[in-house]
Chains A and B, each alone.
Chain A
Amino acid sequence: MSQVENPSPANSDAGETVSVASYLKSNVREYGLLIALIAVMIFFQVVTNGILMKPLNLTNLILQNSYIVIMAIGMLLIIVAGHIDLSVGSVMGFIGALAAVMIVNYEINYVVTIIVCLIVGTAIGALQGFWVAYYKIPAFIVTLAGMLSFRGLTLALLNGQSIGPFPTGFQKLSSGFIPDLFGVGRPHMLTVVLGIVLSVFLIYSAWKDRKERAKFGNLEEPFAFFVLKNLLIVFAINYLSYVMAGYRGYPNVLIVIAVLVAAYGFLTSSSTVGRRIYALGGNVKAAKLSGVNTERLTFLTFANMGLLAAFAGMVFAARLNTATPKAGYGYELDVIAAVFIGGASTTGGVGTVTGAIIGAFLMGVMNNGMSILSIGIDWQQVIKGVVLLAAVIFDVYNKKKAG
């Protein structure tokens, strides 16, 4: 890559932009992951003879992974704060069961049910967070207990049976698609338009942010890189929109995920709350002595995890259209793996929402691709394990080299 210097007059000592090559080198973790995702997608696209990116398959891929992605966001915050939550799979199953019992057995309105379930999920998270934050019980123990208890409660609630089906309104949580306001539905025009609107918005805000940074001498990213990155993002968005427009357009849940990613991305990168969670994960003693209310923040991250697990549980139940006793079994491991593949540190203080999402999709694409190639579930597990280990080894190696 050529050495392109930023043309804007950044002259402050904090604001020197660096060459593309050295910028890439120092941010290798962030972009490396994205490059890995793209490489894996291209690989499977080729070996599956183009099935991977078929509209139907792509849509399914997103639906299949939506609950992992939703929980990965909450788990990221927990892991950044230096903890772990092993109970999310069980909580997810439990909430799905609760929703089924309320809607199917007691015929309670599904909107009311959704609200009650979210509140119950938050309360479960809060209960676990309470012990972790205020009584300093290791999160591993508290949530291991939660994992066992809620798995048991799920069975008890369902009496060991599957309960379903759900009314169509509830199913829309997962299997619904956004309506096409402009026309025929295939290709789905609204999806294409939304993709374009989103890209215009992203470019505008990225440009504005860059100008602001330059003004304050707070610019590091080289200009060529800025252009390249945004072009790629715009291309990716519009390509995916175009593909999905060929089926039924954006699924509802993708819109929800997009909103969650934007909200939590903002929370972690630009809010005082997010900053303090990173500080407490990086050095809890120093954070505390700097006036950060470490207990309350820990408590809140667990409550938030419960909320997102509850939401994921309902999305999952809606997708299967039944609540089963086995729902969510072992999902905590996929969620945790996604966060670590996404570059979070096992000791806390490091990790990004986008990383966790990319990590989740990386695993999702591999699952999907391998399934298409009819590789058995046995080898899929092995490969996922190896990928997780490789990602973390790559991290540690990078850190060593930098230090």
Chain B
Amino acid sequence: MNTILEMRGITKTFPGVKALSDVNLTVGEGEIHALVGENGAGKSTLMKVLSGVYPYGTYEGDIVYNGETQKFATISDSEEKGIIIIHQELALVPLLSIAENIFLGNERATKGVINWPVAHSEAEMLLKIVGLDKPTGTLVTNLGTGQQQLVEIAKALSKEVKLLILDEPTSSLNERDSEALLQLLLEFKSKGISSILISHKLNEVVKVADKITVLRDGQTVSTLDCDKTEEMENKIIKDMVGRELTNRFPQRTPEIGNMLLEVKGWNVYHQVHADRHLIRDVNFNVRAGEIVGISGLMGAGRTELAMSLFGRAYGQKISGQVELRGEPIDVSTINKAVANGLAYVTEDRKEYGLVLENSIKINTTLSNLEGVSKGIVIDDNAETRVGLEYKKKLNTKCSSLMQQVVNLSGGNQQKVVLSKWLFANPDVLILDEPTRGIDVNAKYEIYAIINQLAQEGKGIIFISSELPELLGMTDRIYVMNEGRMVGEMPTKEASQEKIMRMIIKDKG
């Protein structure tokens, strides 16, 4: 196999930090090369060096592409050579159409006048390749995340891509869309397009990759030939964390107590479209000391269910009953929900969970300011005490309590969100994708915190798209599909296949 790309001895330093140190990466033509490593291992930095975000001269080492040493000064230089990067956060303009997005900055135009018929017919061809069956005039905002991802790929294809770089392409896709995307990569491979796949989802990596390069602390640890076996995953993890992870989930002996929270006949309609019945007659419960999982595909209504329960933060025409320890409680506003012992850790911590520009201390006390105040006066010292207490309890790594949370890693940000809710002292915590985008070690810590909370007698509702996580952490699993609870089972009896079958059977 010919080599299309060779990065040799790449070293990149930022003031005070060596982000990459003598990294080597070799990608063959028509190869799917996975790049894995914990957050902060240097994957994104390496790709930024490759794509010209960090121009030639700001790093040491050589990039040999198609047999020539490249000196990219900007992203357009690398794009010209057929290196296209698709970022984790999609770069589409929501209120423009699919065709407009595909050719944005690369318009099908003569002398500045766009030829729309040509643009639309070319866009149609590209959509056919990526398998998206939508009119090219559809606004991007009306597409689901998976479909938007496909538009991004179509956009890349419009530029005659030779090396496609995908940064966490499936992190916000459901299983079906992820599967379709991976299939697409294999198709590209057969057409001779090479890909670099950055992903945290090792099962996917193992499924499609030919080779896997593991980065750790800015260094290449190993490049493995992927043999697509189960063993592979463990090998990768071992290289990623630098030790054997005997157990991905901390041990816990469940001590399940009395009924804590019971939701009966819960119905929710869409926030904007009042005729869309999103949650239908949902019943579920959680006991003290119990961790209950809610599984389901993206769009099953899990987040909508959680947010509607939490002070009607989502939806309209909400009906149903919520009981805490057998007594009906009022959760009609967020304040009442909090006062009645509920807490909701949101799916998107940056957007909904934290005031990013504020310090750890200020974020920690936000939902229970009364707890550090006399009347309306905040006691600064009490607040510091609380901040320190939770920083210690959750092992949040930071330079000081006054550090802005925007500068923390994903795992530590999540610990701040948890601190905030723990200080509000709830009975029931609803955790919505609590480990999304968090690296392996931090995940383990978050799991340990969750176990600890259950041990203290709190009820935990654990929403996750990663089935292994639910199987490893919970006592009982609900299966949700299209706004209804379609199954419930003790985790001991559950398996990935069983849950997926329940969802599929519900569809048929």
Task: Tell me whether B355 and A289 are in contact (CB under 8 A).
Answer: no
Q: Which residues of chain A come closer than 8 Å to B367, judged between CB atoms? A: 290-291
Binary B-proximity of A245-276 (CB < 8 A = 1, otherwise 0): 00000000000000000000000001111011
Tell me the B394-418 residues at the A interface (CB within 8 Å).
400-402, 406-407
Q: Does A346 contact B (CB under 8 A)?
A: no
Closest to B365 in A: A275
Closest to B349 in A: A286
**A291/B335 contact (C-beta < 8 A), A220-B402, A270-B377 known:** yes
Q: Which residues of chain B come closer than 8 Å to A212, judged between CB atoms? A: 381
Closest to B310 in A: A289
Task: Tell me whether A288 and B384 are in contact (CB under 8 A).
Answer: no
**A216/B385 contact (C-beta < 8 A), A278-B358, A291-B367 known:** yes
Q: Does B461 contact A (CB under 8 A)?
A: no
Task: Tell me whether A272 and B370 are in contact (CB under 8 A).
Answer: yes
Q: Which residues of chain B come closer than 8 Å to A290, judged between CB atoms? A: 334, 366-367, 420
Q: Does B9 contact A (CB under 8 A)?
A: no
Q: Which residues of chain B come closer than 8 Å to A215, judged between CB atoms? A: 381
**A217/B384 contact (C-beta < 8 A), A272-B373, A282-B357 known:** yes
Task: Tell me whether B356 and A283 are in contact (CB under 8 A).
Answer: yes
Give the Cβ gap from B411 to chain A, nearest Cβ, in Å. Answer: 18
Closest to A218 in B: B384
Task: Tell me whether A293 and B385 are in contact (CB under 8 A).
Answer: no
Q: Does B14 contact A (CB under 8 A)?
A: no
Q: Which of A14, A272, A286 contacts B355 (CB 8 A)?
A: A286
Q: Which residues of chain B come closer than 8 Å to A271, judged between CB atoms? A: 373, 376-378
**A14/B400 contact (C-beta < 8 A), A212-B381, A272-B373, A291-B335 known:** yes
Taken together as a complex, chains A and B put the C-alpha atoms of A212 and B388 apart, in Å, by 16
Q: Which residues of chain A come closer than 8 Å to B378, judged between CB atoms? A: 270-272, 275
Q: Does A33 contact B (CB under 8 A)?
A: no
Closest to B337 in A: A291
Give the Cβ gap from B382 to chain A, nearest Cβ, in Å. Answer: 8
Taken together as a complex, chains A and B put the C-alpha atoms of A276 and B384 apart, in Å, by 17
Closest to B368 in A: A291
Q: Does A208 contact B (CB under 8 A)?
A: no
Tell me the B20-73 residues at the A interface (CB within 8 Å).
none
Task: Tell me whether A289 and B402 are in contact (CB under 8 A).
Answer: no
Task: Tell me whether B352 and A285 are in contact (CB under 8 A).
Answer: yes
Give the Cβ gap from A280 to chain B, nearest Cβ, in Å. Answer: 9
Q: Which residues of chain A come closer than 8 Å to B344, judged between CB atoms? A: 289
Chain A interface residue count, CB cutoff 8 Å, equals: 33
Q: Which residues of chain A come closer than 8 Å to B407, judged between CB atoms? A: 403
Taken together as a complex, chains A and B put the C-alpha atoms of A271 and B335 apart, in Å, by 19
Binary A-proximity of B336-362 (CB < 8 A = 1, otherwise 0): 011000001010000111111110001
Task: Tell me whether B384 and A216 are in contact (CB under 8 A).
Answer: yes
Q: Which residues of chain A come closer than 8 Å to B338, judged between CB atoms? A: 291
Closest to A219 in B: B384
Q: Which of A16, A213, A275, A288 contacts B400 (CB 8 A)?
A: A16
Task: Tell me whether B355 and A279 are in contact (CB under 8 A).
Answer: yes
**A270/B380 contact (C-beta < 8 A), A14-B388, A290-B420, A293-B335 known:** yes
Assign chain B's interface to a size class.
35 or more
Q: Which residues of chain B come closer than 8 Å to A275, judged between CB atoms? A: 362, 366, 369, 378
Q: Does B387 contact A (CB under 8 A)?
A: yes
Closest to A347 in B: B357
Q: Which of B353, B356, B381, B420 contacts A216 (CB 8 A)?
A: B381
Taken together as a complex, chains A and B put the C-alpha atoms of A271 and B374 apart, in Å, by 9
**A273/B376 contact (C-beta < 8 A), A289-B353, A349-B355 known:** yes
Taken together as a complex, chains A and B put the C-alpha atoms of A220 and B380 apart, in Å, by 13
Binary A-proximity of B408-442 (CB < 8 A = 1, otherwise 0): 00000000000010001000000000000000000
Taken together as a complex, chains A and B put the C-alpha atoms of A286 and B362 apart, in Å, by 13
Give the Cβ gap from B441 to chain A, nearest Cβ, in Å. Answer: 21
Give the Cβ gap from B422 to chain A, nearest Cβ, in Å. Answer: 13
**A287/B377 contact (C-beta < 8 A), A14-B400, A349-B355 known:** no
Closest to B406 in A: A403
Task: Tell me whether B366 and A349 are in contact (CB under 8 A).
Answer: no
Binary B-proximity of A291-306 (CB < 8 A = 1, otherwise 0): 1110000000000000
Q: Does A378 contact B (CB under 8 A)?
A: no
Q: Which of B346, B370, B401 contacts A289 (CB 8 A)?
A: B346
Give the Cβ gap from B290 to chain A, nearest Cβ, in Å. Answer: 24
Q: Does B313 contact A (CB under 8 A)?
A: yes
Give the Cβ gap from B410 to chain A, nearest Cβ, in Å. Answer: 16
Q: Does A12 contact B (CB under 8 A)?
A: yes
Q: Which residues of chain A come closer than 8 Å to B401, judged between CB atoms? A: 14
Task: Tell me whether A287 and B366 are in contact (CB under 8 A).
Answer: yes
Q: Does A51 contact B (CB under 8 A)?
A: no
Binary B-proximity of A165-189 (CB < 8 A = 1, otherwise 0): 0000000000000000000000000
Q: Which residues of chain A come closer than 8 Å to B424, judged between CB atoms? A: 291
Q: Which residues of chain B come closer than 8 Å to A349, judged between CB atoms? A: 355, 357-358
Q: Which of A13, A213, A220, A289 contacts B381 (CB 8 A)?
A: A213
Closest to A213 in B: B381
Q: Which residues of chain A come closer than 8 Å to B352, judged between CB atoms? A: 285-286, 289
Q: Does A144 contact B (CB under 8 A)?
A: no
Q: Does A24 contact B (CB under 8 A)?
A: no
Taken together as a complex, chains A and B put the C-alpha atoms of A16 and B403 apart, in Å, by 13
Task: Tell me whether B313 and A279 are in contact (CB under 8 A).
Answer: no
Q: Which residues of chain B come closer than 8 Å to A16, judged between CB atoms? A: 400
Q: Does A350 contact B (CB under 8 A)?
A: yes
Q: Which residues of chain B come closer than 8 Å to A285, judged between CB atoms? A: 351-352
Task: Tell me whether B370 and A218 are in contact (CB under 8 A).
Answer: no
Task: Tell me whether B334 and A279 are in contact (CB under 8 A).
Answer: no
Q: Which residues of chain B come closer than 8 Å to A287, judged between CB atoms? A: 355, 366
Taken together as a complex, chains A and B put the C-alpha atoms of A137 and B36 apart, in Å, by 46
Taken together as a complex, chains A and B put the C-alpha atoms of A279 and B364 apart, in Å, by 12
**A286/B385 contact (C-beta < 8 A), A13-B400, A270-B380, A291-B335 known:** no
Give the Cβ gap from A28 to chain B, nearest Cβ, in Å. Answer: 16
A-B contact pairs, 25 of them (CB 8 A): A14-B388, A14-B400, A213-B381, A216-B381, A216-B384, A218-B381, A218-B384, A270-B378, A272-B378, A275-B362, A279-B355, A279-B358, A279-B362, A283-B351, A283-B354, A285-B352, A288-B334, A289-B344, A289-B353, A290-B367, A291-B337, A291-B338, A349-B358, A350-B357, A403-B406
Extra 5 A-B pairs, beta carbons < 8 Å, given A216-B381, A291-B334: A218-B381, A278-B362, A289-B346, A291-B311, A349-B357
Q: Interface on B for A, CB 8 Å cutoff?
A: 310-311, 313, 334-335, 337-338, 344, 346, 351-358, 362, 366-367, 369-370, 373, 376-378, 380-381, 384-385, 387-388, 400-402, 406-407, 420, 424
Pairs of residues from A and B, 6 with the lowest C-beta to C-beta distance, nearest first:
A282-B355, A290-B367, A216-B381, A218-B384, A272-B369, A283-B355
